[in-house]
Amino acid sequence: MENDKIRYVLPKRRPTTYRDPPLELVAKALDVPLGYLLGGYSNDEIAASHYAEAVRAGRIQLLDELRPAADQKELRMFIRQLPTNEDEIFQLPLYSFQNERALAVIFAIEKIYCGYELLIVNEPPFVLWGEDDIEAWAVSMSIAGIALDVFCEEFDSYKRYFRTLIERGEKNYKVVVNFPTLKRFLNRKSRASRRAWVTDAVALLGFENFNMIFYRPPGGERTYADDEGLHECEVLCKTREIPISLAGMVSCQIMQTPPHVKPTSYIISPAPRDVVMVQRELSRIDTMWAQAQAQYHDDLALPTGSPSISADMVRNHTANLLRVLDQQDGLDMD
């Protein structure tokens, strides 16, 4: 940044488009906190930019150097000190957290918005992850030692908490899973582990408040080389039904490297109280759900013009697709 002729000038206003400003795109691409890149600018330059308010409020922390690998012994304290109300948690410098700390933050947010969860994901929702999935992911994120134990404990606590809500009928789920990447997820498992996972998933589909549908991209399988799966998103709601006003809802952007890339990096970007963002992401989820429903309609050979398939039919067909996968010795990726 020493050459002023090529120095990036901080924008005075945030772009009105949905695309992030260039500096934020660079921070995400390099997997570094935005505050680290802003640390290369003078106080006057930051004060004159649209980042000034976020810096003053502490939502962006300026860093002179990249934080070294967090002291692993501090992870448990970090989790314990996370706020339990939305006003405080959204004051945290969320962009600066990644991997185990980003997951701890999203777990805390989900406990605040614990009525309804809507997802587009490339791998199953966390309530369906087994111990082998959790440990393998932690290792791929270079989590080790005490932090690995704490991470696995926190993940297990998260699973038990939300599985209990599902079983009590206190939380609804609407999940769209990319079918090709789900098969990759299952292919990483041993035969016994895969069978146990399928059995667990089918059991969870027995609850009417948990619904999951598989989406098959047009043209068959797309590789990570040219398409890193579906663009994932998450919408959370405090109540079990979506209010007309969209009050009490939050949209979260999930940013992570593909599962085969090591080391793995996981970052979350909540957009609190942004009705436009929530509405846009709800529309994306509903559109993809409808497309997957149409695929199920064809699978079941229902007459043309027949009513859309019911939630029960979706759950039953998803369970049957899982049973078919369980019977295969090796999963065809097409």
Which residue range is the domain that position 145 belongs to?
69-327
In a domain, 105, yes or no: yes
pLDDT tens profile 71-96: 444 888 889 899 999 889 988 887 77
Query: Where on the phi/psi map is residue 21: left (φ > 0), alpha (ψ -120 to 50), or beta?
Result: beta
Q: Give the dihedral sign, CA 326/331/333/334.
A: negative
Domain boundary residue, one of 30, 49, 66: 66
Same domain, 41 and 83: no
Between 322 and 334, the more confident residue is: 322
pLDDT band, very low/low/confident/very high, at 1 (cuts 50, 70, 90):
very low
Same domain, 35 and 128: no
Per-residue pLDDT at 18: 52
Long-range residue pairs from 281-285, CB within 8 A, at least 24 positions apart, any chain: 281/233, 281/234, 281/235, 281/251, 282/118, 282/235, 282/242, 282/246, 284/120, 284/233, 285/118, 285/119, 285/120, 285/174, 285/176, 285/233, 285/235
Same domain, 15 and 145: no
Same domain, 42 and 150: no
- Cα-based angle 58, 246, 167 (whole degrees, multiple of 5): 95
pLDDT band, very low/low/confident/very high, at 17 (cuts 50, 70, 90):
low
Mean pLDDT across 249-255:
85
pLDDT tens profile 155-177: 999 999 999 999 999 999 999 99
Same domain, 206 and 127: yes
Domain boundary residue, one of 24, 45, 66: 66
Same domain, 98 and 246: yes
In a domain, 334, yes or no: no
Same domain, 121 and 88: yes
Same domain, 309 and 191: yes
pTM of the predicted model as reported, rounded to 2 decimal places: 0.76
In a domain, 220, yes or no: yes
pLDDT tens profile 257-289: 765 667 778 887 776 567 888 999 999 999 999
Same domain, 7 and 60: yes
Same domain, 112 and 228: yes
As for how many domains the chain has, the answer is: 2
In a domain, 333, yes or no: no
- As a whole number, the mean pLDDT across the chain is 84
pLDDT band, very low/low/confident/very high, at 199 (cuts 50, 70, 90):
very high
pLDDT tens profile 118-146: 999 999 999 999 999 998 888 888 887 78
Mean pLDDT across 29-55:
81
Between 323 and 95, the more confident residue is: 323
Same domain, 17 and 129: no
In a domain, 332, yes or no: no
Alpha carbon distances (Å) from 14 to 19, 83, 315 = 10, 28, 43
